[in-house]
Amino acid sequence: MLKASEYSESGVPVISVGEVGYGTLKLRKDTPRVSPTTTSRLGEYVLETNDIVFGRKGAVDRSSIVRSSENGWFLGSDGIRVRLPSTVNAGFIAYQFQLETIRTWLLQHASGSTMLSLNQGTLERIPLLVPTLAKQHAIADVLCALDDKIAANTKLATTSSLLAQSVFAAAADNHGVEVGLSESSSLLSRGITPKYSDDEESMVVLNQKCVRYQRVGLGPARRTILSKVRQDKELHLDDVLVNSTGQGTLGRVARWTLDGRVTVDSHITIVRFNPEVIDPVCGGFAVLRNEEKITAMAEGSTGQTELSRVELGKLKLMLPPSEQQRALGQHLAKMTTMENAYLLENQALAATRDALLPQLMSGKLRVKDAEQIVSAAV
């Protein structure tokens, strides 16, 4: 469908299986793009608001509705588009695709064993509930109110993050000083080899999937026996986490800015700055700026790449003058706290949505009762 020469560094995102999430599309750093000229030539593959997109292979239970801000994006060759008639509410159908029962059905009825595959015929056989259009609108509106708030919070969190990085960059680039990572850190070490357990005497252990988009997500985390965690490898506030194994995830960086007793597994390197040398918050922001450079430090063959502690320690960081760091670090920390507040609220909102979804779809919860719950949440 697309020639290699038609991809570009800027332009319209091409939506493939990697961009399809559970309900919403998510762009990646390496999401390919095409020019508007290409989309004009291949107009039948241009996505429209309220289209629903699935991936053809892999995680076939994921689907995302195209929102108005995503209108005009391009459908990749490994995506499947569902465009519904006006006689149904596309949002209602999209929410129904998020039900665990429907997702399980898709996994069971997709073809293939090693790699599941989805086709149009399978999608046409999904056992959907189709109540009156008025009821579809009502249910979709209730759930959409929560998703709209989540989207607004996400935008605010992203804006706060970008502003904080811009503030740091301006300070570091104005009469900045260069500091070596190894010389400025008090700990530069891989995490633990966990012994997984859900007992009360256990601790959250992060893995590489938890480090994405320069943030830490606890969703993929597990728990490890507490006695197996050395005290120095229990995360401190403002520690920096660096994914250090495997192509694709190696080089991802995030700052630890949450509460709780947490450690990381041996695929992640902990960087703990010495506050007597540099401000830890400023040090963390300096590492975030070097994510691409860190990724390029990988050693080894494809699929077996590693980032050694020694190589990482050679990284040179550009920081503001020492006399400015403490005040700047405090300011950046406040901005991070604000960002975290938006994201934590999103977790609560998403939990409310996920709890209401099956209740509304099954008719066990009246729309009016759900509206009261949502009103209190947003």
What does pTM read for this prediction?
Answer: 0.87
- Asked whether the predicted pLDDT for residue 1 surpasses 70, the reply is no
Same domain, 303 and 200: yes
Question: Are 126 and 189 in a shared domain?
Answer: no
Do 108 and 192 reside in the same domain of the chain? no
- pLDDT tens-digit series, residues 220-237: 999 999 988 999 999 999
Residue 333's pLDDT is 97
On whether the CB atoms of residues 23 and 94 are closer than 8 A, the answer is yes
Q: Are residues 195 and 126 in the same domain?
A: no
Given a cut of 90, is residue 5 above it in pLDDT?
A: no
- Residue pair 243/268 in contact by the 8 Å Cβ criterion: yes
Phi–psi pair at 186, nearest 5 degrees: -95, -15
DSSP SS3 for 50: coil
CA separation for the pair 275, 187 (Å, rounded): 12
CA dist 338 to 154, 331, 344, Å?
12, 11, 10
Q: Give pLDDT, residue 48.
A: 96
For residue 378, name the pLDDT band (cuts at 50, 70, 90): confident
Give dist(CA 204, CA 197) in Å, integer. Answer: 10
Report the CATH number at residue 52.
Answer: 3.90.220.20
Q: Is residue 75 part of a domain?
A: yes
Contact in structure between 56 and 75 (CB atoms under 8 Å):
no
Claim to verify: residue 50 and residue 112 sit in the same structural domain:
yes
Same-domain pairing of 91 and 9: yes
Q: Containing domain of residue 294, as a range?
A: 177-319
- Torsion, Cα 310 311 312 318, to 10 degrees, reads 120
CA distance 106 to 103: 5
| Structural domain count of the chain | 2
Question: 131 pLDDT exceeds 70?
Answer: yes
Q: Which of 34, 68, 35, 37 minimizes the C-alpha distance to 51? A: 68
Residues 98 and 190 in one domain: no
| 15: CB partners within 8 A, 6+ apart | 25, 47, 53, 73, 74, 75, 76, 79
